[in-house]
A = this chain, B = another copy of it.
């Protein structure tokens, strides 16, 4: 357990690669080696020693002070050799980036583990690990680093991990840790969950998995974690055909999908359908409280999109909140043009003040459990900076989730920029805003039950 912690929180890292060796399949190449070296130098605030085996002719017999993490970017045979040498010098944890290991070679790594008590992430992790708190970054995407936040991402697949990394960076999603499990011959989902359970920087855990060796153990651990931290899971390889590919891809058996589905449900893990849903749900859970009931209010400056939002409420099994008489009267007294029936249409000329007043009244209503704000710019008078009142008002009602939907393309980008570093999740489609509340409701039920 402490060693898994070291994989994410080392003080001294040794990165070993080659400026000559090029191996297509396993991702060993001088360019990638240079990129990881660049990222470690640029971002990591601990000590990094970078070793080019061709330039230096192997690891020196005695390292001045033993690193606590070895990162290996060599082809299988050389990775194994160097791991043994490092272990003999006291290195206790390894991240093996490269792939293409045969079964016998995997066995050699497991023997290393047994003899020296080391822990190994990989091989075939492709991107390795990121810790935004310390700047540890063994990915070869030069200069790519997600912003600090409280969402941890664990991916079995390098491609899906890279995809999640790209998505997080582009949309400014705050990340605590990223780990790419690869072949997971040693450190696996269970170990990573166990570490993340206690990681103070992590509030939400995202898991992409294709298969697992000991499902029962994983699920038991997950059921414990979800009492205080939500776990979102995306499962790849749900059909026989795709499971076949998953098997050849990361050497694990996908298993029957409905068994996984039942296990996830029992453990209180929240299953999502795709990468976008995973990120959208994680953002909601990382920024807003669970929803304590099913009743959703909609506060909008446009009629049609408010109707689409109301439709989405029904499709997601939530309810349109029936506002109390007092709330309706208070809104209509202050704004005689507004019909305070949920979904509330504030009319196209609503700006910060009207949103502020109505949102505050609606959140104070005991019949309301959460709010979707819809604030389009096109065809209205709303300006992006008006959105600043949303986190302010939401903060007054800390137990009721609020999400914002500046529906559209450009409109979304403009408002998203204003709210990116606030507590308010922002979505470009009414349906995504409502889905976010649905996830918050689901987690409310899970955290309440366990």
Binding site for B on A (CB under 8 A): 24-25, 27, 126-127, 140-141, 144, 155-163, 165-171, 208, 210, 234, 236-239, 241-242, 244-246, 248-250, 273-276, 302-308, 310-312, 314-315, 320, 337, 339, 341-343, 345, 347-349, 376-380, 407-411, 413, 428-431
| B159 near A376: Cβ-Cβ < 8 Å | yes
Query: What is the CA–CA distance of A173 and B298 in the complex, to the nearest angstrom?
Result: 29
| B379 near A159: Cβ-Cβ < 8 Å | yes
| A378 near B162: Cβ-Cβ < 8 Å | yes
| A379 near B304: Cβ-Cβ < 8 Å | no
Given contacts A166-B410, A276-B429, A307-B210, contact A339 B25 (CB under 8 A): no
Q: Which residue of B lies closest to A158 (CB)?
A: B379
What are 11 A-B contacts with C-beta separation under 8 Å? A158-B303, A158-B304, A159-B302, A159-B376, A163-B411, A166-B411, A236-B307, A239-B310, A245-B307, A248-B341, A274-B431
| A24 near B379: Cβ-Cβ < 8 Å | no
User: Which residues of chain B are within 8 angstroms of A380 by Cβ–Cβ distance?
Assistant: 159, 162
Given contacts A237-B310, A275-B407, A276-B429, 19 further A-B contacts (CB under 8 A): A25-B337, A141-B378, A159-B302, A161-B304, A162-B378, A162-B408, A163-B302, A163-B304, A163-B376, A166-B408, A166-B409, A167-B409, A168-B409, A170-B410, A238-B315, A242-B343, A249-B307, A274-B308, A275-B308
Query: What is the CA–CA distance of A30 and B343 in the complex, to the nearest angstrom?
Result: 29
- Copies of the protein in its oligomer: 2
Residue from B127, B155, B306, B349 within 8 A of A245 (CB atoms)? B306
Residue from B242, B249, B250, B315 within 8 A of A311 (CB atoms)? B242
User: Which residues of chain B are within 8 angstroms of A241 by Cβ–Cβ distance?
Assistant: 310, 314, 320, 342
